[in-house]
Amino acid sequence: MRIAYIVLVHQYPDQLVRLVHKLKTENTSFFIHIDRKAAPSIYHAIVNEIGNLPDVYLLKRHNCYWGELGHVNATIEGIKALLNSKTVFDYTVLLTGQCYPLKANSAIEMFLNAQQGFSLMEHFPLPSSWRWRIEKWHIRFFSKKFMVPKRQSDLSIKRRFPSGLEPFGGSAYWCLSRECIEYIDKFLHHNHNFINFFHFSFAPDEMFFQTILLNSPLKHTIINDNYWHIKWLPAAANPIVLGVADFETMTTSSKLFARKFDATQDPEILDKLDRAQ
């Protein structure tokens, strides 16, 4: 079982380095995207620590603004680099630098091997409460963001979703089979307008890949669970930072990974997770 990790990072280089060393085995490879907006010190710290490790690739960098297409572009960059590198892999896992495994590498490999080619991705038909994400124009002008139309009642310039596709949503983090990764790459090669549409959406990383795969012949191979432990407050824009107080919940769950962690807020939790494995 060979796993390729695509990792998106914009801060905390020490956590990224720890994550890579934690997951690194002879069966893993890493495709790391460092936000183009990140401070030069972050970029150089990562390059100096892991840039020369075997099976670690640093990707072409994109600006990743919250709620915009940059995270999708960074992920696509990882998919292209993975396929172009001729790396042998069975599954691809999308992580951030603030994720961490809840299981040992051997347990992760064993679990994925048992899936027999099925992928792990949370998904659901896009509910009406999410429609504003795709029906309105979300535009950035320098440092300011605008939404058009601003009023929910004004639907005269509502955007139309790409023809023939049903929109889906779900978590931005997933574990996909090689077959799914290759399908995404081919789909995007033949459907440039799909990317253009999502350029003006809100939080496309929570819809983009679900929509491609749940409208594909591979939809029956998608298990509706990404096996991530993520803790949210109602209507919150970002997940809760996990700490020692969450340790028992995480270690007794069936989940493979968790996010998000911040070693500057709780420096003990990652050590405790390591000892539990």
* Average confidence (pLDDT) over 197-210: 93
At residue 144 the predicted structure's pLDDT band, cuts being 50, 70 and 90, is low
* Average confidence (pLDDT) over 251-267: 96
Note the pLDDT of residue 149: 55
Closest residue by Cα to residue 55 from 106, 4, 114? 4
At residue 16 the predicted structure's pLDDT band, cuts being 50, 70 and 90, is very high
Q: How far apart are CA 73 and CA 42, in angstroms?
A: 20
Q: How far apart are CA 23 and CA 100, in angstroms?
A: 9
Range list of H helices, 123-277: 132-135, 178-190, 192-198, 208-214, 247-251, 269-276
Lowest model confidence (mean pLDDT) among 42-56, 88-102, 131-145, 216-230: 131-145
The per-residue pLDDT for range 30-40, each reduced to its tens digit, is 999 999 999 99
Note the pLDDT of residue 58: 98
Note the pLDDT of residue 145: 64
Note the pLDDT of residue 133: 87
The per-residue pLDDT for range 116-134, each reduced to its tens digit, is 999 999 999 998 888 888 8
Count of C-beta atoms within a 10 Å radius of residue 125: 11
* Average confidence (pLDDT) over 226-235: 90
Note the pLDDT of residue 127: 86
Mean pLDDT of the chain: 92
**pTM score:** 0.93
CA 183 to chain CA centroid, nearest Å: 17
Architecture in CATH of 3-125+165-276: Alpha-Beta Complex (3.90)
Strands (E), the chain: 3-9, 28-34, 56-58, 91-96, 99-101, 119-120, 124-125, 137-141, 144-148, 168-169, 175-177, 222-223, 228-230, 257-259
Note the pLDDT of residue 234: 80
The per-residue pLDDT for range 36-64, each reduced to its tens digit, is 999 999 999 999 999 999 999 999 999 99
Using the predicted structure, report yes or no on whether residue 275 has a pLDDT greater than 80. yes
Q: How far apart are CA 111 and CA 60, in angstroms?
A: 31
Residues 6+ apart with CB under 8 A from 44: none
